[in-house]
Each structure stands twice: as C-alpha cells, then as structure tokens.
C-alpha cells in the first residue's frame, strides 16, 4: 500500500520508504517530517530477464562518461542533449540521443522513459526558473508510475551546504545555501524526491564536488593559455574546494544502482579538499615537466589574486565522503587531485606539436 503525505510548502525532505529488504530513511533532525512514503513490497520486484536501460536527462560531461561506462557493461543507454552537433557526437559513440528542451519537453521523448529501468537527471536549475523539468511534473509523474523505472538519481552539488567555516560536513549537516543557484538545487532535490515518491520509484540524491576529468581540468585550463573566467578567479579565494573525478562519479552512481537506498543523499567528493591555487600550481608544474618552455600565458593563481576583493571567500567547507565508502563500498580511483591530474596528463599527446 502506498502512503504519501505531501506538504503545502516546500522543505528539506525527510523521506522514508519500506521495501522487503527493510526500512531505509534519510532524516535531518532540524526539519519536520514533510514526506513519508511507503512504496510497498511490490516496488522491489524486478524481472530478472529485463535488460538494464538507462535514460539520462541532460547528457553533458558526466552523462556522457556514465553512458559510455554503462554501454561497455552491456547496458542500453538513451539520453537527451540540446544541439544537433551534440546528438551526432553521442550517436557516434553508439548512444541513442534526442534533442530536448527542458523548458518545453516533448511528450514523445518523455514517453520513452517508460521503457527504461533507470533514470538519471543531470539538468541544472536555472536562475529565476528553478529546475525546468519540475515545472512539468504532471507530465513526468504519469510516466514514472506507468513505466518500468526502478531507480532515479539526481545530480546535485555540495554548494548546497554553503559556508561552514572550513568544518567537515557530511550528509546530515543542515544545508545553508548562500547563492540563488544553491537554493534552487535544494528545491530541485526536494522536488525530485517528492516526484519519485508519487511515482513509486526509488530515488537518490548525489551532491557532487567540483567535477573534473579528461578535457575539463586544471591541466586543460593551463594548456588553453586563456584568461581565467570570473567564476574561476573567485574560486581562488577559497581555502577548501571539494572536487571529484568524473570516473569516481560514475563509480558512485553504479554502486548506488547495485545498492539502492530510497531517499538517501550522498556526498561525492575526493579525499583532498585542497585550495584551487595549490591545484593549479601542481597542474602547471606537470605541464612544464612534460613540455618544458611551452607555457607563456599567465593564467595562474597569482593573476587571479589581484582581482579578488579583499576578504572575499565563498563556500568554505570540507566535504566528507565517508558514506559512499561505507554504504556503497566505493574505493576512489583518484582520491587526490594529484592522482587525478596525473592520469589526465598521461592521456594528452602533443598539445604543442612537440615531437
């Protein structure tokens, strides 16, 4: 029997779901129990002969890597993108891709959801709008109820914790978002948990640190020899920056699929919340060591420091990753930025045409 009691106003979620394996719960003591959702024993049943099919709403940097990883494991993967060029790139990888506008979702694309066993949401919130998909939750709710979905994952951000003064924060730490986008992230987390409860689907939230990987790292930024963006300059003011290699994000997501825990929130970050300045210095040394004398443009921390307002600092915190290790059994491939950046530079060949 399904029981869902939803609030008249949004709040941080307290979610409970009952399955044959036991009771799983996520509780934040500082907030009242706005959601209680029992899915019933029938929610845990699964056809052993059914093929694993992942649908990724928003096949960006993380989605593309996860799709390739799952495909190599024999999964069928379908996703959405926003341009013809991106669609072609994904199809060349052997993936099914649909051009999709989250602001005006096409029903025929959403209809495909019912044929998939897993759903990953990687569509970021928009300032002044919030999560664009959740504005169409009635369209989504029916497809979640009528389909074969067993697992739903939402990619969020460790930015929801705000500034803890450098303290170590875990998933029980009360979110205190300081930016409009971080506030929108919290609202989106709650919205997807509500929707999954209504649709009788197991949902998990993944709060990611700063994402990096091949083609998107401090090494790549230095090799481009371009001025730092405003956002990059501001991040140099932080004493601590949590980050995570895309391969380890994929690890955590796949581990959650194997061990679903309804309503659970996971921090996905590495073991070394080092200052961005330190990371860039290490990356620059790696580049100079491999291709000496080829870096002339100064896009380092020193160039950024002079442009940071005195005393400016945002999001000071260290993010605990204990839960993904103890509950999901994740062993990080790249526990530090040093190991991650070394693996990235090993993949790069002749960026300067060096023979």
What per-residue confidence (pLDDT) applies to 17? 34
Distance of CA 308 to the CA centre of its chain: 28
pLDDT at 231 over 80: no
What per-residue confidence (pLDDT) applies to 198? 83
What per-residue confidence (pLDDT) applies to 238? 60
pLDDT at 80 over 50: yes
Q: Which of 139-148, 232-241, 316-325 has the lowest mean pLDDT?
A: 232-241
What per-residue confidence (pLDDT) applies to 189? 96
The radius of gyration of the chain's CA atoms, rounded to the nearest angstrom, is: 21
What per-residue confidence (pLDDT) applies to 219? 95
What per-residue confidence (pLDDT) applies to 20? 31
Tell which wins on pLDDT, 92 or 236.
92
Closest CA to 72 of 48, 87, 54, 57: 54
DSSP symbols for 62-76: HHHHHHHHHHHTT-E
Q: How far apart are CA 350 and CA 353, in angstroms?
A: 5
Closest CA to 120 of 84, 79, 87: 79
Residues 6+ apart with CB under 8 A from 222: 280, 283, 284, 287, 295, 299
The reply to whether the predicted model has a pTM over 0.85 is: no
Predicted confidence band at 51 (pLDDT cuts at 50, 70, 90)? confident
The owner of tokens 């996520």 is: 26
Q: Which of 33-37, 192-196, 209-213, 327-331 has the lowest mean pLDDT?
A: 33-37
Q: How far apart are CA 338 and CA 342, in angstroms?
A: 6
Predicted confidence band at 134 (pLDDT cuts at 50, 70, 90)? very high
Phi-psi region of 165 (alpha: psi -120 to 50; beta: other; left: phi over 0): left
Residues 6+ apart with CB under 8 A from 73: none
Per DSSP, the three-state class of 219 is: helix
Q: How far apart are CA 26 and CA 190, in angstroms?
A: 12
DSSP symbols for 34-51: ---EE--GGGG---TTSP
Could you tell me what percent of the chain has a pLDDT over 90? 56
Q: Which of 53-57, 110-114, 239-243, 350-354 has the lowest mean pLDDT?
A: 350-354
pLDDT (average), residues 186-215: 93
Q: How far apart are CA 25 and CA 45, in angstroms?
A: 20
Decide: 178 and 148 in contact? Cβ < 8 Å: no
Within 126-180, strands assigned E span 151-157, 168-169
What per-residue confidence (pLDDT) applies to 314? 53
Q: How far apart are CA 213 and CA 172, in angstroms?
A: 28
What per-residue confidence (pLDDT) applies to 297? 61
Phi, psi of 169, rounded to the nearest 5 degrees: -115, 135
What per-residue confidence (pLDDT) applies to 234? 56
Predicted confidence band at 87 (pLDDT cuts at 50, 70, 90)? very high
Q: Which helix (H) or strand (E) holds 140?
A: helix 137-146
The per-residue pLDDT of the chain, averaged, comes to 81
Per DSSP, the three-state class of 180 is: helix
Distance of CA 28 to the CA centre of its chain: 21
Long-range contacts: 130-135, Cβ < 8 Å, 24+?
130/184, 130/187, 130/188, 130/191, 131/184, 131/187, 131/188, 131/191, 131/192, 132/102, 132/103, 133/57, 133/102, 133/105, 134/188, 134/191, 134/192, 134/195, 135/103
Q: How far apart are CA 77 and CA 120, in angstroms?
A: 11
Decide: 328 and 266 in contact? Cβ < 8 Å: yes
């Amino acid at each position: 029997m399904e029981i869902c009691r939803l609030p008249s106003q949004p709040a941080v979620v307290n979610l409970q779901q009952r399955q044959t394996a036991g009771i799983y719960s996520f509780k934040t003591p500082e907030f009242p129990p706005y959601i209680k959702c029992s899915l019933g024993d029938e929610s845990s049943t699964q056809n052993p002969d059914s093929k694993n099919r992942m649908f990724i709403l928003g096949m960006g940097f993380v989605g593309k890597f996860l799709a390739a990883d799952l495909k190599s494991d024999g999964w069928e993967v379908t996703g959405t993108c926003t341009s013809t060029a991106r669609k072609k790139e994904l199809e060349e990888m052997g993936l099914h891709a649909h051009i999709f506008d989250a602001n005006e979702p096409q029903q025929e694309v959403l209809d495909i959801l019912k044929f998939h066993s897993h759903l990953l949401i990687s569509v970021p919130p928009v300032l002044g709008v919030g999560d664009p998909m959740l504005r169409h939750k009635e369209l989504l709710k029916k497809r979640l109820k009528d389909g074969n979905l067993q697992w739903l994952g939402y990619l969020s951000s460790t930015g929801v914790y705000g500034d803890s003064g450098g303290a170590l924060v875990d998933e029980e730490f009360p979110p205190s978002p300081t930016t409009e986008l971080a506030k929108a992230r919290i609202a989106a987390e709650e919205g997807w948990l509500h929707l999954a409860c209504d649709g009788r689907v197991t949902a998990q939230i993944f709060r990611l640190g700063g994402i990096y990987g091949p083609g998107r790292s401090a090494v790549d930024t230095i090799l481009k020899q371009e001025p730092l963006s405003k956002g990059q300059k501001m991040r140099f003011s932080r004493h601590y920056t949590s980050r995570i290699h895309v391969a380890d994000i994929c690890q955590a997501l796949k581990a959650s699929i194997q061990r679903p825990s309804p309503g659970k929130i996971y921090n996905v970050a590495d073991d070394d919340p080092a200052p961005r300045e330190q990371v860039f210095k290490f990356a620059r040394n790696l580049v100079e060591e491999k291709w000496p004398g080829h870096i002339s443009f100064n896009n380092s921390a020193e160039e950024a420091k002079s442009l940071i307002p005195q005393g400016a600092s945002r999001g000071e915190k260290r993010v605990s990753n204990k839960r993904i290790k103890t509950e999901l059994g994740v062993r990080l491939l790249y526990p530090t930025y040093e190991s991650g950046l070394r693996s990235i530079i090993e993949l790069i060949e002749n960026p300067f045409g060096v023979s």
